[in-house]
Amino acid sequence: MNYPKYSYLYLTVLFAFASVLFTGCHKPANLNSVAIETNYKTENVFVVVIDGPRYSETWGDPTHSLIPNMHNTLAGKGIINQEFYNLGTTHTMPGHTAVATGTYEDISNTGRQYPSNPSFLQHWLYQTQNAPAKAWVVGSKKKLQVLSNCSSVSWRNSYLPSVNTVDRLDKETFKEVKKIISTHHPKLMLINLKGPDFWGHGDDWFMYKYGIRQTDSMLNALVTIIETDSVYAGKTSLIMTNDHGRHLEGMQNGFVSHGDKCLGCTHINFYAYGPDFKSGVILNNQRHLIDVAPTVAELLGFKMEQVKGDIMTELFKE
């Protein structure tokens, strides 16, 4: 081939220009991540939603026999609110949506509808420009994948967190949680454990109680991971709540099901652990599910314009 000389020059310039464009566009996002200054020590937050145990079998049981880790170990290391409620729809998807977005929305419980508003994960990814591997939705119910996205036109398909939601037992999910933590060291996670809800719907009282015991022990294991991993120790907060409870005895079919406004369905657990939270304290001021997201945003210093809940300032050390 016999190209005129100017073609080589042209190609060289074109190639140089393309390389600049290419590297400019394809830098991994985490190289450009934006550090947000806050007054807090927290740099990472894990939000754990234990699906559907009833308050009366958990913190509301004076013997605490099914939650020995919470009672004997975790309560002393963190803060509990005994007046915590889901004041929206008491099903899995609306409950998790309230946690993730800070708004109550009666979305479909099938997993075929995105929340209208972006979650704290999308907001955080946008404002910090972190890589998707730093923010995760992990759970034991596949339908929870819709929490990674939303239907708002300005947010849909943007700043999506990583997703690992599969219909599986909690022990499989917890294995994945540990693997994701050691592989990616995420800074923000929304974790669902379904045991109490799953066995409750099966009308299996023995396994329902087993599910509560198992998730109590997983929560303790997660706190141990935080305390022993140098990436997390002293700079990681954990919040645990429930998406909903279950009917009180005498209401419809009792513990088997949920979904109305009875006290059994609406009264849920709240626990917070971390360097900025008080420890060994039990609160009795009324708070509810949509207050979780603004509290996470406050800790990590990002904004969520659409939230309807409030920052739970009473949790913080003075």
Shortest reach from residue 254's CB to Zn ion, in Å = 9
Would you state the structure tokens that stand for residue 41, as one six-digit string? 């020590």
Residue span binding Zn ion (CB under 5 A) among the ranges 3-11, 134-142, 256-264, 281-289: 256-264
Shortest reach from residue 248's CB to Zn ion, in Å = 7
Which of residues 105 and 260 has its CB atom nearest to Zn ion in the complex?
A: 260
Among 166, 169, 262, 311, binds Zn ion (CB under 5 A): 262
**Best CA proximity match to 199, nearest among 153, 149, 253, 257:** 257
Residue span binding Zn ion (CB under 5 A) among the ranges 37-45, 74-82, 219-227, 244-252: 244-252
Which pairs from 165-169 meet CB under 8 Å and 24+ separation?
165/137, 165/138, 165/139, 165/140, 165/141, 165/192, 166/140, 166/142, 167/140, 167/141, 167/142, 168/140, 169/140, 169/195
Residues 47-86 touching Zn ion, rule: CB under 5 A, are 52
Is 265 a binding residue for Zn ion by CB under 5 A? The answer is: yes
Sheet containing 267-268, strands listed edge to edge, beginning at the edge strand earlier in sequence: 267-268, 84-85, 287-288
* Measured distance CA(75)–CA(51) in Å, rounded: 20
Residue span binding Zn ion (CB under 5 A) among the ranges 32-40, 55-63, 176-184, 191-199: 191-199
Return all residues near 24 (Cβ < 8 A) that are at least 6 apart.
none
Residue span binding Zn ion (CB under 5 A) among the ranges 16-24, 145-153, 156-164, 242-250: 242-250
Is 193 a binding residue for Zn ion by CB under 5 A? The answer is: no
Among 96, 143, 209, 247, binds Zn ion (CB under 5 A): 247
Please, is 138 exposed, middle or buried when counting C-beta atoms within 10 Å of its C-beta (0-12, 13-18, 19+)? buried
**Best CA proximity match to 85, nearest among 245, 297, 294:** 245
Among 197, 216, 243, 291, binds Zn ion (CB under 5 A): 197
Which of residues 170 and 197 has its CB atom nearest to Zn ion in the complex?
A: 197
Is 260 a binding residue for Zn ion by CB under 5 A? The answer is: yes
Binding residues vs Zn ion (CB under 5 A): 52, 197, 247, 260, 262, 264-265
